Amino acid sequence: MFKFSFKVKHKNCSETRLSEKFPKHQITVIDIQAASEKQKQYLYYITGKERDFKSIITYLKTHGYKEVKQIEQSPETLLLLVTLKQKSYVQNIIQKYGGFFIDLHTVLAGYEYWHIGTVSRKSIDKMREELRNMGDLKTLFIGHVDFANTILSKQQKKVFSHAYESGYYAIPRNTTITAIAKDLKMSNATAGEHLMKAQNKLLNSAAKKIL
């Protein structure tokens, strides 16, 4: 198996424009469903300053999004259900050449970050060729990996373990993402992203074993 990690500043992309408008907010994207190749539904998990959340929602409703529904909000995070319609999507190219997603994609400061797997090294070259036509493409990693070795990355395990030990999952919670980030000397956005990805991976792994 091969892993291909990259970031791309996608031309004519609503997510890219949103991230450029609010560069200090990180968006983690969960793909829900696709009505067609041009219309897709996502969950946006946005971390950043709460004072900008209302402006973000207003911006989405007036810039290419067919649906914007607020699911929940905390002082540090905003969860939205959105429906987007545009001409091109990175995931269409990935799926065209047999790629599969090994992590949620994120958007920060105008760049989309993707981590995908594929059984063919040649398919990565084909993806890169088409992705370059979409915008500024920067390759972060290409190499052979064994996906069976680990569920969580080193950083995801570090953040999740600290959150668990600090009582983040207690009822009521004994800590916050802000406190966790401060303890680990990282930004709120980075801590929140690692924690959300760890939760998603662990939940999917557990579900496969019990369902």
9-21, pLDDT tens digit by residue? 988 888 999 999 9
Pick the closest to residue 124 from 96, 89, 153, 147 (CA basis).
96
pLDDT digits (tens, 9 = 90+) for 23-54: 999 999 988 776 676 788 899 999 998 999 99
- The long-range contacts involving 64-71, CB below 8 angstroms and separated by at least 24 positions, are 64/14, 65/14, 66/39, 67/41, 71/43
The span from the CA of 201 to the CA of 204, in Å, is: 5
The span from the CA of 71 to the CA of 161, in Å, is: 27
pTM higher than 0.85: no
Which residue's structure tokens are 């972060």? Answer: 140
